[in-house]
């Protein structure tokens, strides 16, 4: 996979030292204070806002100490901040606070409460450790629409507009980073696009999916069905893992969804479901899966958080259609929590964007591998040997 490490950094496949009999090393090296200091130099706004979040969560626990020449989290985040500031401050904890009110592609819509509600709702979910059992290794892999993936987390659809959030990233580099990195980590990338964009652009972006042999989902903005249907042959030709339609930025009726489901050979997933009735309508439309999502809080202010609405939907549909979700997934523990609440696979957006800006495909793979290691550890410490065994019994109620 030569093309994904062209930035001269060598990716570390095993981002955490293997757990030995002494337990799961709690890491070292990366230092929140230093990031906070950098934050101060680059823009006090981000720092101050961070300093006042109700809970002081911070950057993910680092996995290694940053030996020279090896990719490490600190370097990725530092570089990401250099390139993304001020659109994104790459806060130690990405909670929608510092960027609230910014609008645009990363911040939450309006006052940013939907983004913050996503964060808070997930943070309130607590795990119950289970430590008396014989699970010493957990299998983090799972299967979605026939694709075996190394962990139940894939790339969230992000469009070419993401190249405008920071400095010096072409659309080609962007999609190669997020798809290539995810594929390198054994999971699926994503290509998000708008079918009304220039035809050459749309075609080039579709080619990304093909180049990675369909190991990515393809997401279309909810443009009119006639436009989507016009592109159907090209889209199906990519053999993307599935077609995602995000109705949270433009509703579609059951009839419209049915039309799309029937027209496409690939599975159709409807993204932007926040209510059981909407989810049931999707099932009526024959969709292959649903994605519980409020578009990362970027379309409508003041919506409920994902972790608040997911359980009601999962209680009726778990096992009937795959349930995807997204919203502030930052660590392997977050993945575990969403699965315990009923999701089958989560999608990761903002954190992969940071990783892509901070380390290209290598950065994305680094992040996904780190998340997988964190998930593996969290599964052992909650006593679940495999993804299918994750359920609500590991949550504090």
Which of the residues 346 through 385 are near a copy of itself (CB under 8 A)? 374, 377-378, 380-383
Two structure tokens written together for 68:
């020279």
Q: Which of 386, 345, 375 is nearest to 241 (CA)?
A: 345
Q: Does the protein bind a copy of itself through residue 315 (CB under 8 A)?
A: no
- What's the half-sphere exposure (Cβ side, CA atoms, 13 Å) at 204? 14
Q: How many CA atoms lie within 13 A of 357 on its CB side?
A: 25
The one among 5, 49, 142, 219 contacting a copy of itself by CB under 8 A: 49
* 122 or 183: CB nearest a copy of itself: 122
| Tokens 């979700």 -> residue | 325
- Whichever of 73 and 362 has its CB closer to a copy of itself, that residue is 73
Q: Which of 17, 86, 213, 262 binds a copy of itself (CB under 8 A)?
A: 86
331 in contact with a copy of itself (CB under 8 A) = yes
Among 75, 82, 102, 234, binds a copy of itself (CB under 8 A): 102
- How far is CA 396 from each of CA 117, 124, 201, rounded to the nearest angstrom? 20, 10, 47
Q: Does 257 bind a copy of itself (CB under 8 A)?
A: yes
- Considering only residues 164 to 183 of the shown chain, the ones binding a copy of itself according to CB under 8 A are none
Angle between helix 44-51 and 32-42 (nearest 10): 140
Can you say whether the dihedral through the CA atoms of 70, 369, 73, 90 is positive or negative? positive
**113 phi-psi bin (left φ>0, alpha ψ -120 to 50, beta other):** alpha
Nearer residue to a copy of itself within complex by CB, 79 or 337: 337
297, burial (CB in 10 Å: exposed 0-12, middle 13-18, buried 19+) = buried
In the complex with a copy of itself, which residue's Cβ is closer, 3 or 136? 136
Task: Write out the two tokens for 390.
Answer: 């994750």
Using the rule CB under 8 A, is 199 a contact of a copy of itself?
A: no
**Kind of pairing between the strands at 126-127 and 395-396:** antiparallel
Taking the least distance from each CB to a copy of itself, the nearer of 196 and 388 is: 196
Considering only residues 205-234, where is the footprint of a copy of itself by CB under 8 A? 221-224, 227
Q: Shortest distance, CB of residue 159 to a copy of itself, whole angstroms? A: 10
Taking residues 135 to 164 in sequence order and writing x for each that binds a copy of itself by CB under 8 A, - otherwise, the string is: xx----------------------------
Nearer of residues 89 and 215 to a copy of itself, judged by Cβ? 89
Note whether 247 binds a copy of itself by CB under 8 A. Answer: yes
Which CB sits closer to a copy of itself, 105 or 186? Answer: 105
Helix or strand run (H / E) with residue 114: helix 113-124
């Amino acid at each position: 996979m030569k093309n994904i490490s062209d930035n001269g950094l060598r990716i570390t496949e095993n981002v955490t030292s293997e757990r030995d009999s002494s337990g799961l090393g709690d890491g070292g090296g990366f230092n929140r204070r230093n990031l906070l200091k950098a934050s101060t130099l680059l823009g006090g706004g981000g720092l101050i806002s961070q300093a006042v979040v109700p809970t002081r969560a911070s950057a993910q626990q680092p996995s290694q100490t940053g030996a020279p020449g090896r990719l490490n989290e600190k370097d990725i985040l530092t570089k990401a901040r250099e390139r993304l500031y001020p659109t994104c401050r790459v806060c130690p904890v990405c909670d929608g606070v510092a960027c609230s009110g910014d609008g645009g592609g990363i911040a939450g819509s309006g006052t940013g409460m939907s983004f913050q509600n996503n964060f808070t709702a997930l943070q309130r979910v607590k795990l119950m450790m289970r430590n008396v059992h014989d699970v010493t290794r957990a299998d983090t892999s799972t299967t979605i629409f026939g694709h075996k993936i190394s962990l139940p987390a894939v790339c969230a659809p992000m469009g070419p507009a993401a190249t405008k959030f920071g400095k010096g990233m072409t659309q080609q580099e962007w999609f190669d980073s997020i798809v290539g990195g995810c594929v390198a980590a054994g999971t699926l990338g994503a290509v998000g696009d708008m079918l009304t964009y220039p035809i050459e652009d749309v075609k080039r972006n579709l080619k990304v999916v093909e180049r990675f042999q369909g190991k990515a989902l393809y997401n279309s903005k909810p443009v009119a069905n006639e436009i989507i249907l016009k592109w159907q042959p090209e889209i199906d030709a990519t053999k993307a893992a599935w077609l995602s339609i995000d109705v949270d930025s433009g509703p579609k009726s059951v009839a419209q969804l049915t039309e799309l489901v029937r027209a496409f050979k690939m599975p159709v997933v409807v993204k932007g479901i926040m209510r059981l009735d909407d989810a049931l309508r999707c099932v009526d439309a024959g969709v292959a899966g649903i994605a519980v999502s409020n578009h990362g809080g970027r379309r409508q202010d003041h919506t409920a958080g994902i972790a608040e609405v997911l359980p009601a939907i999962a209680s009726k549909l778990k096992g009937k259609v795959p349930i995807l979700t997204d919203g502030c997934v930052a660590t392997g523990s977050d993945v575990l929590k969403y699965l315990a609440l009923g999701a089958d696979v989560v999608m990761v957006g903002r954190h992969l964007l940071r990783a892509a800006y901070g380390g290209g495909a290598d950065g994305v793979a680094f992040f996904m591998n780190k998340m997988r290691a964190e998930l593996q550890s969290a599964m052992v410490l909650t006593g679940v040997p495999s993804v299918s065994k994750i359920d609500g019994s590991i949550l504090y109620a």
